[in-house]
Structure 1
Amino acid sequence: MKLKLIVLSTAVTVLTSIAAQAQVVGVNKRCETDSLNVSQATGRNNWAKACGVISPRTHDFYVTDDYGRPRARPIYPTFIKGWDHTQGWIAPTTANASCNVPAGYFPNVTCQASCYTPDQKLLFAEGELAIFDAFTRKVSKIVTLDDDASLDNITYTVRDLKAYSESLVEVVHDILVVKTKSGGSLKVTPNHPLLLSTGQMRNAEDIQIGDSLIAESGEFDEITAIEEIEFFGKVYNVEPNSNGEHEVILNGQIVVAQGFLSGSMYYQNTGFNHVNKYLLRDTLPDDLI
Structure 2
Amino acid sequence: MKKTIFAVISSLTMSSSAFAAWAPNEYRCTFDQLTADQAEGRQRWAKRWQQQNPYNITTWGGLDHNYWHSSYTLEANQAVALGYWLYPVYVDPDNMYTPWKGPGAYGTATASYTGSQIQTSVPYTFKPANIQMDGVCEPGCYTPDQKILLSDGAMGIREALESGRTDLVTLSPEASFSAVELLDNKVEHYTLDRDATKQEILTFRTRSGGALRVTTEHPLVTPDGTLKRARELGVGDSLVDRHGQADEIVSLDTKWEYTRAYNVRPVTTDLTSNIIIAQGYLNGSQRFQSEYVDEMNRMILRSNVPEVLVPAGE
Q: TM-score range by the shorter chain?
A: 0.7 to 0.9
The structure whose residues are more often helix, as a share, is: 2
1:88 pairs, out of 80, 91, 106, with 106
Show the counterpart of 2:284: 263
Q: Cα distance 1:26–1:76, how it changes in 2: closer, same or farther (>3 A)?
A: closer
1:230 pairs, out of 243, 256, 259, with 256
Could you tell me which amino acid in structure 2 is paired with residue 223 of structure 1?
I
- Structure 1 residues 146-185: aligned runs within 5 Å: 146-185=172-211
The structure whose residues are more often strand, as a share, is: 1
CA–CA separation in structure 2 for the residues paired with 1:54 and 1:44: 9
Q: Which range moves more in the overlay, 265-274 or 255-264?
A: 265-274
CA–CA separation in structure 1 for the residues paired with 2:234 and 2:112: 46
CA–CA separation in structure 2 for the residues paired with 1:43 and 1:55: 6
TM-score of the pair, normalised by structure 2: 0.67
CA contact (8 A) 1:177 1:226 kept: yes
Show the counterpart of 1:51: 64
SS in 2 for 1:105: coil
Identical pairs, percent: 25
- Structure 1 residues 115-194: aligned runs within 5 Å: 115-194=141-220
TM-score of the pair, normalised by structure 1: 0.72
Task: Tell whether 2:103 aligns with 1:77.
Answer: no
Show the counterpart of 2:27: 17
Show the counterpart of 1:240: 266
Show the counterpart of 1:4: none
Structure 1: gaps (5+ residues): 1-12, 19-24, 93-97, 244-248
CA contact (8 A) 1:241 1:252 kept: no
TM-superposed CA distance for 1:177, in Å, is: 0.3
TM-superposed CA distance for 1:83, in Å, is: 5.8
SS in 2 for 1:225: strand
Q: Which range moves more in the overlay, 197-206 or 105-114?
A: 105-114
Q: Cα distance 1:135–1:72, how it changes in 2: closer, same or farther (>3 A)?
A: same
Show the counterpart of 1:102: 115
Could you tell me which amino acid in structure 1 is paired with residue 306 of structure 2?
P
Show the counterpart of 1:7: none
SS in 1 for 2:33: strand
Could you tell me which amino acid in structure 2 is paired with residue 76 of structure 1?
Y
Q: Which range moves more in the overlay, 226-235 or 198-207?
A: 226-235
CA contact (8 A) 1:26 1:162 kept: no
TM-superposed CA distance for 1:76, in Å, is: 3.3
2:229 pairs, out of 185, 195, 203, with 203
Q: Indicate the structure (1 or 2) with the bigger Cα radius of gyration.
A: 2
Report the RMSD for the aligned CA atoms in angstroms. Answer: 3.8
SS in 2 for 1:226: strand
Show the counterpart of 1:29: 33
SS in 1 for 2:36: coil
TM-superposed CA distance for 1:15, in Å, is: 5.9
SS in 1 for 2:297: coil
Q: Cα distance 1:141–1:26, how it changes in 2: closer, same or farther (>3 A)?
A: farther
CA contact (8 A) 2:145 2:157 kept: yes
CA–CA separation in structure 1 for the residues paired with 2:239 and 2:249: 7
Could you tell me which amino acid in structure 2 is paired with residue 33 of structure 1?
D
CA contact (8 A) 2:50 2:65 kept: no
Q: Which range moves more in the overlay, 98-107 or 275-284?
A: 98-107
Q: Cα distance 1:280–1:189, how it changes in 2: closer, same or farther (>3 A)?
A: farther
CA–CA separation in structure 2 for the residues paired with 1:132 and 1:152: 31
Could you tell me which amino acid in structure 2 is paired with residue 201 of structure 1?
L
Could you tell me which amino acid in structure 2 is paired with residue 51 of structure 1?
D
SS in 2 for 1:141: coil
CA–CA separation in structure 1 for the residues paired with 2:154 and 2:230: 22
Q: Which digits, 9 at most, give the CA deviation of each residue in 1:219-250, with x for residues without a partner?
A: 2111111111222121111011223xxxxx11
